[in-house]
Amino acid sequence: MFDYMTLRLIWWAILGVLLIGFAVMDGFDLGVAMLHPFVAKTDTQRRVVLNTIGPVWEGNQVWFILAGGATFAAWPYVYSVSFSGFYLAMMLVLVGLILRPVAISFRSKTNSAVWRETWDWLFFISGVLPSLLFGIAFGNLFVGTPFYFDPTLRVVYEGDIFGLLNPFSLLCGLVSLALLLMQGAAWLNVKADGEVAVNARRLGRRAAITLVILITVAGGWLSFGVDGYLVTSQLDPTGPSNPLLKTVVNVPGAWITNYKLYPWSIAAPILAYLGAIFMIIMALARKHRASLVASSVSVAAIVLMAGFSLFPFLMPSSSHPEQSLTVWDASSSEMTLGLMLVATVFFLPIILAYTCWVYRVLRGVVTETAILSGNDHYY
């Protein structure tokens, strides 16, 4: 149906779609967790916040599982390097993701104020930890990570978790925090009312303004202060997946090359800015659904910015740049990509249709009155 080059591009795009799905859908779950102690002051208000995501967070997290599965199946070298090199960071992410359901489920098991306060702060940590680490991980893709392959293509990672905490990656972590705080606030504007919604609007505006400032700083730093990577040899887009067959140089300004080659890609940073700005405007106008859409556009655009800037790189190597992983030499076989594409074309629409149906059934605002009456609200 498609040649090898096209299949690789399709799976690069599918991975991007899955990451965008995770950032948008589970992004507001993470944002709500971070906002939880600050938008809700009473126990009832905190239950309101929990019930805005209680019925949907599990389904939202599926996007992360799908992205991990797609990486494992379509980009095995990337999976190998990231899950071995970032092992401890991945474990910390999992700790955060595990804390979320435990905190939601255990919080109301007893009426003790100390008990509930403890689980509330653990719920907060379940939002901060993954959000920060996901941003740091993306930042390290631009800086490069220290790995190489031996002659038998076994990966050797030369860094540690402290090496991931470089200044630019920490800045990207702050971008991620501001981004998901904005998304969480936009979600609470739609799903909550009263004081919770008022506080969410106030904090959401601050998060959006902070995001605009941070992506401006990050964009300037990426353009002029972070050396990027360029492939200097001729790559065969239909050739074998062998990351040892190219030459790569590390040069200033390389990460903005694609915006010069493909001017249409400048739409991504423009949408990132406009989404954050319109999120503020729509929130002030009390058009909450439009505010959530604008915030989601900004989230998606920032993921697109990362993908466009890095292309064709998937994971650059700082210690051995010539062994960096690219779209053209890190994929599974042509047959594997083709068979998986057939399955994806069949199952992904089913997942999307089911997700839309769930959100339609669970539409509506969570109110304090409903929480106190116990009508259809579990947490």
**Residue ranges per domain, the chain?**
4-373
Instruction: Give the integer Cα–Cα distance in Å for 318 and 142.
Output: 10
Q: Which residues contact 192 (CB under 8 A, 6 or more apart)?
A: 39, 48, 49, 52, 200, 365, 366
pLDDT value at residue 59: 87
Given a cut of 90, whether residue 84 has pLDDT beyond it is no
What does the pLDDT look like over 186-237, one tens digit per residue? 999 999 988 999 999 999 999 999 999 999 999 999 988 888 999 998 888 8
Looking at the DSSP bridge assignments, the partners of residue 128 are none
Query: pTM of the prediction?
Result: 0.93
Q: Which amino acid makes up residue 183?
A: Q
pLDDT value at residue 210: 96
Which residue do the tokens 């058009």 mark?
287
For residue 274, count CB atoms less than 10 angstroms from its CB and return exposed for 0-12, middle for 13-18, buried for 19 or more: middle
Q: Which residues contact 224 (CB under 8 A, 6 or more apart)?
A: 252, 253
- Indicate the SS3 state at residue 156: strand
pLDDT value at residue 364: 86
Element (H, E) at 326: strand 325-326
Q: How many CA atoms lie within 13 A of 345 on its CB side?
A: 9
Interstrand relation of 313-315 and 325-326 (parallel, antiparallel or unpaired): antiparallel
Average pLDDT of the residues in 105-128: 91
State in Å, rounded, how far the first CA of the chain is from the last one: 49
